[in-house]
Amino acid sequence: MAEQRIGRYRLTRKIVPGDPKRGIPDLWQAEDQGDLYYAKLWNKGSSDSTAVQALWNREVRGLMRLQGYPGASELFVKLRDLDSDEKHFFAILDGGRKQVLADVLQNRARYHWLLNLAEASRRRPLWEGLLRIAEALAILHREGTLHRSLSPSSVFVSPEGQGEFRLSGFEWSLRLAGPDSGAAKVLRKSPFAAPELDKPDGEYSTATDWYDFGLTAAELFGVPLRNTKTRSALPTLIGNLTNLREAERQIILRLIEDNQEKRLVDDEEIEQSLRQIIRDLGAVTTASGRNLLIAVRLGSELEIARTIEVVSEGRASAHDPIAQRDWIRNDLRGDVRVIGRAAPSPYYVLKGEKLEYRVRNWSVDSLTTWDIGFCDGIERIPRISSDDQLFSLGQRKLDVQLFPHVRKNIRSARDRSAQWDRVFPIRAQHNNLPNNLRTVHEFFRITQQLDTVLTVAQICAVDILEIDRGANDTTIVVT
């Protein structure tokens, strides 16, 4: 088969076929100089190329405006290139490790984050991803733009899930006319389009976009749309998603309500509902019944292992990781004090009876999460800082496991554990003010203190006991 290219990009695999007759583009995986990209291709056709080119130019201007919207880089896939040749218009998007959600859902069994959705800790990142898509869709609507083709084919995700969903940044606008019909007409092959689009005068709207969003959510959580033939079957299928809580099922049902007047279509209400679901699931994952998991990396060459051997007076040898794990468990008994520190990056210090253990987030095999605390070091010199944030373990338990065991059983370990950063939220470190602003701050602080002293003196007379004038300050001692 001859190599296919578009511009300087080599097309390697067609992911989602389009419909050339209706101006619906193909989605390809592409390569250039070793990097991966995604390419969207529209056939130019032979009819009125001048009009189509004008439409393309107008839509490109709109796209570039949307790409510059504040926060767009976090919600949309980055647009790399827009161009055309003698046969196609094309858009090139950032690829890297991102994958099309439609492709992922076809191979659901290969992705652990789509399995065992009865666990709240598995569903929470999915709802976080849907919230990102909802926020992106709301931006489009505020800009007066409709997506018109929202589906798993227009959502890109990271292989690890983790809520890193992004809306592809081009499909909502670039609906070029095909030989059979204009771009403004309703062109849908899916039997699950919003009911109002079935009418002869049916038009796309923000309500149809939110209907598509609801369908995407339903498919994400397991509704088999490919094997479903009628729209009327959807409410029953969603009701059968027993892995979801009632509030989760209800928002999906409200989004795919047949009656447009009753459908959930308000951007702010949708975002608030999604955030509430995320908060509720977060409360479940941080419930006191879940342990805080620590994966301890031990080895005779590591300082932590050698220190434990010395402190234990040889009872826990550096060459015996199981004995050292048990020694750590014993050292961390009771209501352990937890210290949170924000710099240089967030981490915790667990104050045991003998040693202080440094715990940071798990970052192994391309997975970064606070579901598991990772420990491979101790605080050599115990210290206290004014920025320390103190927490108590309370009734919660620490589950100390060896690093190889956790890595081997990563899925079940995450499902059972509480998230460290939600149990012990670390506030962001305060930024140091510039000198001029610090002077202003000190002025208001001191004058407010003086005003307080004068107010108190007016209420209740005081006696001045001592005045101590220094080079830089004056101390007044009163009763």
Residue-wise pLDDT for 300-356, tens only, equals 889 999 999 999 999 999 999 999 999 999 999 888 889 999 878 899 999 998 999
Question: What percent of the chain lies above the pLDDT cut of 90?
Answer: 32
How far CA 133 is from CA of 95, 174, 280, 404, in Å, comes to: 18, 19, 20, 36
- Residue 178, pLDDT > 50, answer no
Does residue 19 register a pLDDT over 60?
Answer: yes
Residue 175 pLDDT > 60, yes or no? no
pLDDT above 80 (res 390): yes
Q: What is the pLDDT of residue 426?
A: 85
Residue with the bigger pLDDT between 189 and 300: it is 300
**Cα maximum dimension of the chain:** 98
Measured CA to CA, the distance from residue 100 to residue 227 in angstroms comes to: 20
In b/e form, how buried is each residue of 347-356, taking b as 16+ CB within 10 angstroms? bbbbbbeebb
Given this model, what pLDDT does residue 235 score? 92
Is the pLDDT at 399 greater than 90? The verdict is yes
Average pLDDT over residues 8-16: 87
pLDDT of residue 292 exceeding 80, the answer is: yes
Model confidence at 139: pLDDT above 80: yes
More confident residue, 450 or 258: 258
Which tens digits make up the pLDDT trace of 229-287? 888 899 999 999 999 999 999 999 999 999 999 999 999 999 999 999 998 888 776 66
pLDDT of residue 217: 95
pLDDT of residue 26: 81
pLDDT above 90 (res 459) = no
63 vs 38, which has greater pLDDT? Answer: 38
In three-state secondary structure terms, 30 is strand
Could you give the domains of the chain?
4-285 (1.10.510.10), 292-423 (no CATH), 435-478 (no CATH)
Q: How confident is the model at residue 188 (pLDDT cuts 50, 70, 90)?
A: very low
Residue 400 pLDDT class (50, 70, 90 cuts): very high
> Would you say residue 166 has pLDDT above 50?
yes
DSSP 44: -
pLDDT at 291 over 50: yes
Of residues 131, 119, 152, 132, the one with CA closest to residue 244: 119
List Cα–Cα distances, 175 to 25, 52, 81, 198, in angstroms.
8, 10, 17, 19
Position 290 scores a pLDDT of 82
**pLDDT given for residue 307 in this prediction:** 93
Q: How does the average pLDDT of the chain come out, rounded?
A: 83
pLDDT of residue 429: 58
Least confident of 17-31, 108-122, 142-156, 172-186: 172-186
Rounded CA-CA distance 131/157 in Å is: 13
- Give residue-wise pLDDT tens across range 46-63: 655 676 677 677 667 767
| 8-22, 369-383, 442-456: range with highest mean pLDDT | 369-383
CA pair distance 74, 91, nearest whole angstrom:
19
Edge to edge, what strands does the sheet with 155-157 contain? 99-100, 155-157, 165-167
DSSP annotation string for 236-289: HHHHT-TTS-HHHHHHHHHHT-SSTTTS---HHHHHHHHHHHHHHHHHHHT-TT
